[in-house]
Amino acid sequence: PAVHRIAVIPGDGIGREVVPEGLRSVRRAAEIFGIELESEQFDFASVDYWQQHGTMLPDDWFEVLRGFDAIFFGAVGWPAVVPDHVSLWGSLIQFRRRFDQYVNLRPVRLLPGVPAPLADRAPGDIDFVVVRENTEGEYSSIGGRIFDGTDRETVVQETVMTRTGVDRIVDFAFQLAQRRGGHLTSATKSNGISITMPYWDERVAALAENYPDITVDKFHIDILAAHFVLHPDWFDVVVASNLFGDILSDLGPACTGTIGVAPSGNINPTGEFPSLFEPVHGSAPDIAGRGIANPIGQIWAGSLMLDHLGHPEAAAAIVAAVERVLDRGDLRTPDLGGTASCEELGTAIAEAIAK
């Protein structure tokens, strides 16, 4: 079997604490399932690197990283030192755009043994995937500011939607709905955002013609956010623009107890470039350095990575280990109401992985 080459980028804050736990489970699963992995760790895409070099990435980052089969990423950002738009646009956003990782896959599941803030919901009741557009939309670099420092100061930032960009993410979501429960929900705001969002609706409706077997509905983002809280059991696949998907993919996991368990697969479906796997959460400066971060988002991201590399059984074994350990109920990090450390939970999950 081919050796998979993984670029490991811990980044900042709790990224450095959860990445080793993610790797522990990935390596254990690889050992059990006979998968050959080689990894190389990089210190760029971090605020430390920025302090030393004045940039987030080396000049040759694109050539260096494109030689890998996948990127295993922690989190970037330390706003006390570098403004977030500088650190994020200088690293993660570049990876997503230059490697054309246009699908951001963000599964949301209520896991066993996790105290959920929503009453009367059991594991199985909440199980959906947010499919987030990841290269265009509201995250654009088109715009600017004029009349700086005057009372006419004006800032403009455009939302960009291309036919190719919208169609490819919506089509991906339809295909995922076909493999799952046959139900697609589109996040829109075509009542207030009068050009791009009606266009989004138009493309969803056009592509729906190709998928007569899929039930399609759409909600404006405001009420959709409310439905996530009140009726999380309604959803199967939710497709959203870049910003709406960002918001929904923190809200969804929060409804299942904590954002600390949520994974994110930034996928380049053509395989031309490496895909990137990370937790949904950020560097969490408020808890960084204390060893109490929940490692499950990073571990689950490792499962998504193995799945993407063609090892669905190893991927499933990692998720099963997460579920088994959580179900035991004695090992929980503080975000889940417990006192376990990141390393304790991570080690227990890795040890629970089995064929």
Of 63, 37, 10, 24, give the one whose Cα is nearest residue 306: 37
Instruction: Compare residues 32 and 225 and give the one whose CB is closer to Mn ion.
Output: 225
**Shortest distance (Å) from residue 57 CB to ligand NAD:** 14
- Residue 291 and residue 17 in contact, taking contact as beta carbons nearer than 8 Å: yes
Site string for ligand IPM, 144-183 (x = CB under 6 A): ----------------------------------------
- Residue 262 and residue 106 in contact, taking contact as beta carbons nearer than 8 Å: yes
Instruction: Compare residues 17 and 278 and give the one whose CB is closer to Mn ion.
Output: 278
Q: Is 218 a catalytic residue?
A: no
Of 162, 156, 173, 240, give the one whose Cα is nearest residue 196: 162
Task: Candidates 246, 307, 323, 335: give the one binding ligand IPM (CB under 6 A).
Answer: 246
- Residue 304 and residue 106 in contact, taking contact as beta carbons nearer than 8 Å: no
**Shortest distance (Å) from residue 278 CB to ligand NAD:** 5
Q: Is 59 a catalytic residue?
A: no
d(CA 323, CA 245): 26
Query: Considering CB distances under 5 to 8 angstroms, the limit depending on partner class, which of ligand NAD, ligand IPM, Mn ion, none binds residue 294?
Result: ligand NAD
Q: Which residues pair with 70 in a beta bridge?
A: 6, 275
Instruction: Give the H or E element holding residue 244.
Output: helix 242-255
**Shortest distance (Å) from residue 48 CB to Mn ion:** 22
Spatial strand order in the sheet of 183-188: 37-41, 4-11, 70-75, 275-279, 263-267, 103-109, 127-133, 237-240, 183-188, 215-220
Instruction: Compare residues 86 and 176 and give the one whose CB is closer to ligand NAD.
Output: 86
Instruction: Compare residues 88 and 317 and give the one whose CB is closer to ligand IPM.
Output: 88
Q: Is 189 a catalytic residue?
A: yes
**Shortest distance (Å) from residue 103 CB to ligand NAD:** 16
Q: Is 211 a catalytic residue?
A: no
Positions touching ligand NAD (CB under 6 A) are 14, 75-77, 79, 84, 88, 92, 259-260, 278, 281-287, 293-294, 297, 335
317 exposure class (CB count in 10 Å sphere: 0-12, 13-18, 19+)? buried
Could you say which residues in the range 192-251 bind Mn ion, by CB under 5 A? 246
Instruction: Compare residues 32 and 247 and give the one whose CB is closer to ligand NAD.
Output: 247
Q: Is 139 a catalytic residue?
A: yes
Q: Which residues pair with 108 in a beta bridge?
A: 128
Q: Which of 12, 69, 246, 335 is catalytic?
A: 246
278 binds Mn ion per the rule CB under 5 A: no
d(CA 250, CA 221): 14
**Shortest distance (Å) from residue 246 CB to ligand IPM:** 4
Note the Cα 43 to chain centre separation in Å.
21
The catalytic residue positions are 139, 189, 222, 246, 250
* Interface residue list for ligand IPM (CB under 6 A): 88, 246, 280, 282
